Amino acid sequence: MRRFVCLLLVVVVLPFFVPTAQATPGLAALPPMGFNNWNAFGCDVDETLIKETADVLVSSGLADRGYEYVNIDDCWSLRERGPDGRLVPDPAKFPGGISGVADYVHAKGLKLGIYGDAGTKTCAGFPGSLGHETVDAQTWADWGVDYLKYDNCNNQSDGSQADYIRRYTAMRDALNKTGRPIVYAICEWGTSQPWLWGNGVGQLWRTTGDINDEWPSLKSIIAKNAPLAPYAGPGHWNDPDMMEIGNGGMTATEYRTHMSMWAMMAAPLLIGTDLRTASPETLAILGNREIIAVDQDRLGVAGAVVSDRDGLMVLDKPLANGDRAIALYNSTDSLATVSVPASGTGLSRAPAYRLRELWTGDVRQAKSTISAAVPAHGTVVYRVRPLRDPAGTAPSVTADAGLGTLVPDAGGTLTTTVTNRGAGTITDVAVSARVPDGWTVTAQTPARQRRLATDTSLTTTWTVTAPEGTPAGRYPVTITADYTWGRHRPGETASELVSTVVNAPPDGRRHLSTVEPVTGTAGTDTSAGGSLITIGGRVYQRGLGTTAPSELVYYLGDRCTQLVTDAGVDDESTGQASFTVHADDAVAASAEVASGEPPVTLTADLTGVDWLRLVTAGTAHADWAAPVLTCGDSTPNDPVEPEEETLFSFESGTEDFTIANPGDGGTVAQSTAFATEGTHGLEVTTPLGGNWYGARLSVPFDLTGATRLKVDVKADAAAGTTGEIAVQTGAGWSWCQGSRWAWTDAGKSRTVSVTFEELDCPAGVTPDPSQIHAVWVFLNGGHVYVDDIRAE
């Protein structure tokens, strides 16, 4: 079959706006590198954290590798401006002031960054700079600030691109007037396509919404930012957001992809983890000199997408010395071979090409195809140059494999493919597969071949069996190819495949969002946009939020009888979506729903079904809301697991909710504006510094058997809010507080939760679920809505 390559001519229509002035020239000639506290600490920022981070940047050697900015994010100031109209650092957090911190950081050979907002308030409700650009820019310059992240909350905007340009240009002009070189980072989340107008206004601009420390977020941001390569260059960079490497929500493979793709996209490298406690693995990823060199290459060109198909992407980045950086990125959930012909990149024609893998240091040669077997969610980055004589360099050999989901004691088929991409024939090829202890693997077709010429392969099929009783989970299977190259020189290539073992769900009725799918990803009890699922104004505490088209697959093993779910387009989205429930190969239920329409309830008979597939089509945020799966001998009258007990529903009023510190201010009132249980919730107004809201009980709650407390929170459209749970417990009414806060963006909603194990109590006190004398929730940000405080 012949393949025809079509060239698409893209004509970019530039916006009507042309800046009459320019950003400070010479700044950010390379993508900025440094640290920002928000991803790891949020509002919990202070002088000690910034100084200690500066210390670690120097002592760890990261400063020597280019990380120079130490950036303070939101929540650093007081809630009100000073009498002179200037911003005032919070003296409790920054007793030496921002200027004192700047002096400390500068003495380390580093630079200091600060946070502001192109609105009336910051995202956390602190004073914004809209209308105060001149005084704020001069204040920061007087303090010795070197970098400004300028956010977009509470912006009073009409939504037009012209308004965005006006607001961000106003701060650009104010910064220029100070005479101090301050790198200007436009943070308007890609809303008004700043890549079309940001060059000349700022040195970098956010291209997407906020990053989260989870794979779906990273994958989504790469997909949005990578095609914007033509807009990046010295002094004007695409910013896909700060890094999450080291925060614990992703695997090491995913974090290496994070670092690799940021470097290939010539993105700013802003560390977002606690460097004081960072593991050696985290420091090694952040400090990889060769990956950093790709990002900081003086040519200043972002890698172009030369291939993007079926979840496999190839980026090609020219480097100043004539080399090319080639990234082979696998966003799928399985091991996959990612390839690109050298002729499809910017490489010149040559007898072969030298490939240096920048994570392992391994050097190979390829005849004409640059290729690698890339693990799920992984990225291989090669530094490539033409090679005149490949004879003395080991060939590039890939070992790919595919293995379906395994059911214990039922054999599955493993297919391995070993391909020689090197210039020259390899001989005595032998393939082996190593499986976990107790498993069996048997070759069904030849696993050896005498010779493999360039661009030829050996494919072998195997039977793999996991023993009966193997727990559900993911297990490594290693594929190794041994061979001889050149003059009797031994070679080896290995790849690791992750095999998925599934078990049927246990008896009972359970929320499907608590069952891990075999394949597919979705927001767990949240929409694709990160809020509580909301369809036609109805808010759901449980569900699966997807972006259509999507597919979620579950193994049932002939043990379940029914699925009942609501389906609809989330209120945060427009468009329409189709929903189809597949029971093995049959359609068990389906519906089509448009945005603004009420949810449709689907009931699917799953009797005798092994595999359940939930499929959406369309372009909207498509929600499976409150899906309940019934398995075994359960009946529709059985409780849904995990069981929850509502403690405060606010259906009868404020239910004695009060303010812990009444002198600080705040109010509570019953409201219908936000409700997740019934028709009423609680509307809270908070003082500038926030407050605790809750109820002291005349008869304590006995929550024996409960493991977690939850509350649903919605932030006002004007500002986000911090959410945290505390209880008073035991005979002494000891105060035990959640060990972590949860942030809810402006206009968003979420469930805030804490386990009893996570509660911090006074020394010698352990939370006693059988004696809960009071429940409290900390909130700030102005108007906040809460509902359904409950125990799971």
Q: List the catalytic residues.
A: 151, 210
User: Which tokens go with 110?
Assistant: 């580093």
Other C-beta atoms closer than 10 Å to the C-beta of 19 total 15
The amino acid that residue 725 corresponds to is: I
Residues 6+ apart with CB under 8 A from 305: 226, 227, 229, 313, 314, 315
| Cα radius of gyration rounded to whole Å, the chain | 28
What secondary structure does DSSP assign to 534-587, as a single string? EETTEE-SSEEEEESSEEEEEE-TT-EEEEEEEEEE-TT--SEEEEEEEETTEE
Measured distance between the N- and C-terminal CA atoms of the chain, rounded to whole angstroms: 58
- Cα angle 739, 741, 742; round to 5: 140
Classify residue 468 by burial, with Cβ atoms within 10 Å: 0-12, 13-18, 19+. Answer: exposed
For every residue of 188-232, which 3-state class applies, written as one string? CCCCCCHHHCCECCECEEECCCCCCCCHHHHHHHHHHHHHHHHHC
Q: 629 pairs with which residues across the strands?
A: 510, 563
How far apart are the C-alpha atoms of 53 and 57, rounded to whole Å?
6
Q: Are 280 and 261 in contact (CB under 8 A)?
A: no
Alpha carbon dihedral 300, 301, 302, 306, in 10-degree steps, equals -160
177, two tokens: 């007037």
Contact indicator for 310, 374 with CB cutoff of 8 Å: no
- Burial string for 167-197 (b: 16+ CB within 10 Å, else e) reads bbbbbbbbbbebebbbbbbbbbbbebbbbbb
Largest Cα separation within the chain, whole Å, is 86
> Do 176 and 27 meet the contact criterion of CB atoms below 8 Å apart?
no
- Burial of residue 633 (CB within 10 Å: 0-12, 13-18, 19+) is exposed
Q: How is residue 176 annotated by DSSP? A: H
CB atoms near residue 159 (< 10 Å): 10
Distance CA 283, CA 277 (A): 10
The number of CA neighbours under 13 Å toward the Cβ of 664 is 17
Outline where DSSP puts E strands in 351-488: 352-357, 363-366, 369-374, 379-387, 397-403, 412-420, 426-434, 440-443, 448-452, 456-465, 473-485
Q: With CA atoms as reference, report the closest residue to 708 among 739, 771, 754, 752.
A: 754
Would you give the DSSP letter of residue 77?
B
Return phi, psi of residue 399, to 5°.
-125, 100
Structure tokens at 722: 């911090």
